[in-house]
Structure 1
Amino acid sequence: METEAQPAAPGPPDEGEATRPSRPRRRPAVGVAAALAAVACVAVGALVWRSTSSDPRPSGEVASEPGWALTFSDEFDGEQVDEAKWYVADERRGDEVESPKQSTCPREQNVSVTDGRLVMRTQRADGACAGGQAHSGAGLNTADRFEQAGGRFEVRARWTHPGNYLWGGFWTHGNTGPSWTRENPSEIDVFEYIGKDAEPNLSRFKPAIHYDYTCDGTCGVQSMAHQPYDVTEWHTYAVEWRPTEVADPTTMQIRFSLDDRLITVFDRDGAWRVEPDGRRVQEIEGGWENGAAPFPNPFGLDRPHRLVLSAWVGAPGVDPATVAAGFAPSGGEAALEVDHVRVYAWR
């Protein structure tokens, strides 16, 4: 990606590598002023680092490049979830999971922090769910704690098991405030993993955006399926949500990267798959459309997003009985482990 302060114009140039700064020397620190300025950011860009070892900790530490402000960071170095940063869902407080409501209930006891990692477990409920769901899972979000419009959203994570019917990951949504309706949602799936033993969606990480929850099929969503890979290894998933020209909101792009490499771009021209050699292949013609306002609605910089981490059991369009019969990870449970979550904004 571009390293200049002013990004290049949109389109399908030959670029397949995300920008990687020189190795920083210490953990990032979040300044109060930077956090308060997050929602007011007007331009954003890329900051990605590489680590392919089985240990979650990289050989170097990540810090903000000149021109970038770290606005949110959780390294999970404590002994429990930092409740100043995260709300932990629990059905006993009336909480529900975001999607497979008939298959999974959220339980706070499935969340822990150990050895510098957040652990979010999924398992058979054995009657523990008040709603009768067969499984319990875990969910965190930054409601009333942090939100940001535009920027770089990054997670380093792995699943302990590829797990049939595991469903979850790291995503953001702007589904609050007066402009939010089911016809006008705003969701970015930074790392959505659906574990399935058979097609469709065979154990794939799917970059996706959602902008209408009332549609069936592919209406209201654009997504890009990628070939299966080992989700039990540590990977860094990131999204850069930004206009390439600050003064022109129609140049808005949502760019997905995996371990330093740009893999998907959504823009006003459509959806692009980025090959390993940097070539862009157009998979969908035409950018996302929403009748509430012109492009880039609902992904304009007037729609701040909160952060969400989830670990559920279920699959799109699969009935709970089929899910219950197919979920059988070794040891009886599977977990999403998170090394860090970091958010940046241009300053």
Structure 2
Amino acid sequence: MIRRAVCLLLCLLAAAACTTPGRAGPRVSAPAPAPALPDGHKGGWTLAFHDEFDGDRLDPARWADHSSAEPDEGRGNLGNQQLEWNRAANCRVGGGELVMTARRETVTSPSSGQRYDWTSCLITSTPAYAFQYGYLEERAILPAARGFWPAFWTWQARGVDRHTETDAYEFYSDNHRRLYGTQFSGARGRCEWRPAFDPTAGWHTYGVAVEPSGTTWYADGKRVCRSDATSDALTAIISNLAVYSRIPPEPATTGAVKRVDYIRAWTAS
């Protein structure tokens, strides 16, 4: 009996030592999460660039808030049926997402003197990432009110002297049942489809695979279009919320938002 009691006491002491606050036990490292694949894909791609928007501000190491695609100081493009002046103040990161906000407010370009009656948000990966071939994906909720033109696309990188652009999607918010993709490079190709969902009513993924053999568009992981046309130079990623001058917002509309959960880019494995 005495020997059994001593053994039991030793076992209890050992258990207590293992759970004593401040005492370090063996360290077991959690396995690193596997790189995410494009929605609906089981392989063939390696994650090369991404932003999950988990911080509290736009990451300047990944994004700039102006682009050479906008000729007025990289922020405005009235000649392209756009009413907005883009600026970082309209790009808010928080709660695990990027919120792009278009606001009805007046700004005058300091260089051109042009007046803009809207402000909005554009981001580009120009400081951090450019590619010719790869897979792009954005998970987003698009604005519902009439008069807005959100898009996810690419634009020629610095040093490229010709128009090189791939549109993963464009959406004109007066028509919730139509999405457009375009390959502006090389032979050029166009994709137009009617989604089975309302892009303004919930989260959906929009992707495009730009490969030497052609360009393929995806929505929620499902292939929707393909073209033999493909990119012929390096491009940077752009996501933006434009205000459309041809079908402008109603006079009573003072703003709209595009919400982005993540942006990711892959290269072929």
**Secondary structure at the residue paired with 2:193?**
coil
Q: Which has the larger radius of gyration?
A: 2
Paired residue for 2:76? 97
Partner residue of 1:69? 46
Q: Is the CA contact (8 Å cut-off) linking 1:163 and 1:327 kept in structure 2?
A: no
The answer to whether residue 194 in structure 2 is matched with residue 227 in structure 1 is: yes
- What amino acid is the match of 1:240? A
The separation in 2 between residues aligned to 1:266 and 1:327, in whole angstroms, is: 39
> Structure 1, residues 40-82: CA drift from partner, whole Å, max 9, x if none?
xxxxxxx4336xxxxxxxxxxxxx9665321101000000011
Residues 70, 175 of structure 1: alpha-carbon distance in 2 compared, 3 angstrom cutoff: closer
Alpha-carbon offset, residue 165 of structure 1: 1.6
**Could you tell me the TM-score, scaled by structure 2's length?**
0.74
2:66 and 2:123 in contact (8 A); partners too: yes
Structure 2 counterpart SS, 1:206? strand
**Which residue of structure 1 aligns with residue 178 of structure 2?**
204
1:119 matched to 2:119: no
CA–CA separation in structure 2 for the residues paired with 1:72 and 1:175: 16
Structure 2 unmatched ranges of 5 or more: 1-31
Cα separation, 2, equivalents of 1:327 and 1:116:
32
Aligned counterpart, 1:141: 124
Aligned partner letter, 2:144: P
Give me the whole-angstrom Cα distance separating, in 2, the residues matched to 1:67 and 1:234: 25
Instruction: State the alpha-carbon separation in 2 of the partners of residues 109 and 231 from structure 1.
Output: 25
Alpha-carbon distance change, 27 to 311 in structure 1, aligned in 2, over 3 angstroms: farther
Query: Would you say 1:311 and 2:233 are equivalent positions?
Result: no
Q: CA deviation at 1:187?
A: 0.8
- Look up the SS of the partner of 1:109 in the other structure: helix
Alignment pair present for 1:170 and 2:178: no
Instruction: Please list, as runs of the form range in 1=range in 2, the aligned pairs for 1:163-312 lying within 5 A after superposition.
Output: 163-174=145-156, 176-178=158-160, 180-181=161-162, 185-196=163-174, 204-211=178-185, 222-227=189-194, 229-232=197-200, 233-243=202-212, 252-267=213-228, 288=229, 299-300=231-232, 303-312=233-242
User: Is 1:88 matched up with 2:65?
Assistant: yes
Q: CA deviation at 1:135?
A: 1.2
Secondary structure at the aligned position of 1:241 is classed as strand
2:33 to 11, 26, 44: 26
Contact map agreement 1:169 1:336 (CA 8 A) in 2: no
Aligned-partner residue type, residue 187 of structure 1: E
Q: Specify the code of the residue in structure 2 equivalent to 1:141.
A: T
Q: CA separation in 2, counterparts of 1:175 and 1:146?
A: 9
The answer for unaligned runs of 5 or more in structure 1 is: 1-24, 30-46, 51-63, 213-219, 244-251, 268-287, 289-295
Verify the 8 A CA contact 1:193 1:203 in the aligned structure 2: no
Distance 1:336 1:143 in 2: 21
Deviation of the 1:323 alpha carbon: 2.2
Aligned sequence identity (%): 24
How many residue pairs end up in the alignment?
A: 229
Q: How many Å separate the matches in 2 of 1:309 and 1:97?
A: 15
Structure with more strand by fraction: 2
